[in-house]
Structure 1
């Protein structure tokens, strides 16, 4: 295990995995912020202690809140596979430059995806950033399978 922590590719993977995981984790508090700022809550207990009229007004959806929430779900669908495949990829012994390219492209694509999603940038900005992240993950998966495939 100590040798793994000395490996440059593993260190790079750990760095970029931590960045995208932290980005994903920040989406929860960001959703809460948007809910409070827009006065749009989804659960009865979120508006407990309010008058019936106030509850009716605040128990609703808001496009900004839904956009952030969907972005968070999209992160779960993309960052979790990246972390799992990226770990296996790092263990295949790729060149550092190739690994850094994969990790940086994925992290950049996810950060831009969030900016495009939350900022409601016009398509195809969000779609292209999503595709880039998926292609990076597929590329790493291909390397893993082509290196260790045993059927």
Structure 2
């Protein structure tokens, strides 16, 4: 049954699948960014990890590491709900150009959010605007799905 549904909505699902995988890879990239700063600065969360590299110390609140860690956490808090709500939204047969626009815009907003938060720190409201674009898309898709099935 799901295979039949996907055959009828190939373009929407193709765009969704591609951008979802890109966002999963982005989440892994955020993990790498946190790891980079920990190793570069030789700071870790646990004594056993600090023993791994000579000259390391245990630090819980380094601003560079924390900024990357918070950006990663924000991805987890936003990308997963978007992916679930978008999968349901696609069952409502949205227009392919609308679906592609919203999916791509969400993904790009998440990249911008991470860049202005953890890579090249830009003052507010840059991060807030990037966050809100993604959040509003997710809310729209949830409301459209709820309305469709009500």
Q: Which has the higher contact order (CA 8 A, sep 6+)?
A: 1
Q: Which runs of 5+ in 2 are unaligned?
A: none
- Give the total of aligned pairs: 145
Residues 72-114 of structure 1, C-alpha deviations (whole Å, 9 max, x = no match)? 0000000000100010011110000110111011001000000
2:13 is aligned with 1:10: yes
Q: Is the 8 A contact 2:42 2:50 kept in 1?
A: no
Q: Distance in 1 between matches of 2:14 and 2:42?
A: 42
Q: Which runs of 5+ in 1 are unaligned?
A: none
Normalising by structure 1, report the TM-score.
Answer: 0.89
Q: Distance in 1 between matches of 2:28 and 2:92?
A: 28
Give secondary structure in 1 for the equivalent of 2:44: coil
Normalising by structure 2, report the TM-score.
Answer: 0.90
Query: Residues 85-124 of structure 1: matches in 2 within 5 Å?
Result: 85-118=85-118, 119-124=120-125
Q: Is the 8 A contact 1:102 1:140 kept in 2?
A: no
**2:132 matched residue in structure 1:** 131
